[in-house]
Amino acid sequence: MTVKKRFIAGAVCPRCSTMDTLKAWEQNGIRYRECVDCDFFEQLPLEQQNVEELETRVNKPAAEPENDIQTVKILDPGSITRH
């Protein structure tokens, strides 16, 4: 049985920092990744599904607007003197 190895679009190799060179596949309950440009190779167990999502501007809650009340003074245009 042959395993299909698929390239990961847009992925950057953690070792050589080259984009679009990582290929991934699963076999016997283990996920594998390797780079075709350098000797990077990694294996991860498939049970690791609870990886915490990184906080970004899209997924973090919006900041509550501050309710600072400020008094506004309205000036009478007739009381302004010009120099």
pTM over 0.75, yes/no: no
Q: CA–CA separation, 51 vs 70, rounded Å?
A: 45
The answer to whether 53 and 43 are in contact (CB under 8 A) is no
pLDDT over threshold 90, residue 34: yes
Sheet strand arrangement including 6-7: 6-7, 22-27, 30-35, 41-45
Q: Write out pLDDT tens, residues 48-82.
A: 556 677 777 777 777 777 777 888 888 887 776 66
Q: Kindly give, in sequence order, each residue whose CB lies less than 8 Å from that of residue 76, ignoring residues fewer than 6 positions away.
A: none
